Homo-oligomer: A and B are copies of this chain.
Amino acid sequence: MSGDLLVVGSVAIDSVETPFGREDEAVGGSALYFTAAASLFAPVRLVAVVGEDFPEERVAFLAERDVDLSGLVRRPGRTFRWKGRYGFDLNEAHTLETHLNVFEDFAPNLDPAHRACPYVFLANIDPDLQQRVLDQVESPRLVALDTMNFWIEGKRRSLLEAIERVDLVVLNEAEARMLADEANLVRAAQRILAWGPRGVVVKRGEYGAIYFADGHVFAAPAYPLEQVFDPTGAGDTFAGGMMGYLANTGNLDPDNLRRAIVFGAAMASFNVEDFSFRRLERLTYPEVAERFRRFKALTHFEADV
């Protein structure tokens, strides 16, 4: 059963420097990257907060993709700002500045249309807020949650409560190890699964993603690119592709989840080709479908010989 996809997270104005250039005051944030990706697959409803300085016109393309922006609330003050730098190791962001601004008082209140969404993505925000969303939604078919080291260290208890209540945990490798307090990734994933979720998706940057569920493992590489300009938002774009595909197909079977992960990896591979979500903005579904087929060519081998 396909259906609408709710995302609750941050919308930010980022200043990013990579070895290949810089971009100041770019629109970003976990929920926007997610939405820019997922909206190519399914009807998305976005819940987030911005300040008076937010350039609305930068998200006009989302409205054209039938994204419900009614939950993108504007508050007095400035938009959440993040400033970061990447070295040649594009897997690691160095945060230079974080200003929460209006995001500090973010307390998502869902409208009936939001509450009824069968697919829900809790982007990387305070686990208290993630739980606040969980309290409001009405029996969704699939809820996925992302998080980060800041919450793993600072709000562990609330985060574990949130994790118990979701179906999928999506996080990067270092976060998985930190959350489970276990250096071996397989055992880290098993520990997280034991807390309740039926799947753990571990994002590995330029090495792709690996999915763990009970008795089930699936590894997808990242797409080998000749040029990576800006990895900001790649993880949220991955989640957007994955959840968008699941919401569109309405099929939660393991086989379809594998395809969803590959669509996530495909979306992430586009996102890093340009700064901000410019590449996602001009991306078309046929391009995505073509890259999905290339992932097949990239990973396929005949086992019956």
Contacts and interface: CB of A to CB of B under 8 A. Distances in A.
A301 B226 contact: no
A258 B224 contact: no
Given A259-B301, A296-B301, A301-B258, A224 B217 contact: yes
A298 B186 contact: no
B224 A210 contact: yes
A228 interface: yes
Main secondary structure on chain A at its contact with chain B?
Answer: mixed
Contacts of A213: none
Nearest to A292: B303
A305 interface: yes
Interface residues of A, number: 40
Nearest to A258: B301
A214 to B, nearest CB: 14
Contacts of A94: none
A284 interface: no
Nearest to A187: B226
B221 A221 contact: yes
A219 interface: yes
Contacts of A185: 206, 224
B305 A259 contact: yes
A65 B218 CA distance: 34
Contacts of A217: 224, 298
Contacts of A262: 301
Interface in A243-271: 255, 258-259, 261-262
Contacts of A303: 259, 292-293, 295-296
15 contacts: A19-B183, A186-B225, A207-B207, A207-B208, A217-B298, A218-B298, A218-B301, A220-B301, A221-B221, A255-B301, A259-B301, A259-B303, A293-B303, A296-B301, A299-B299
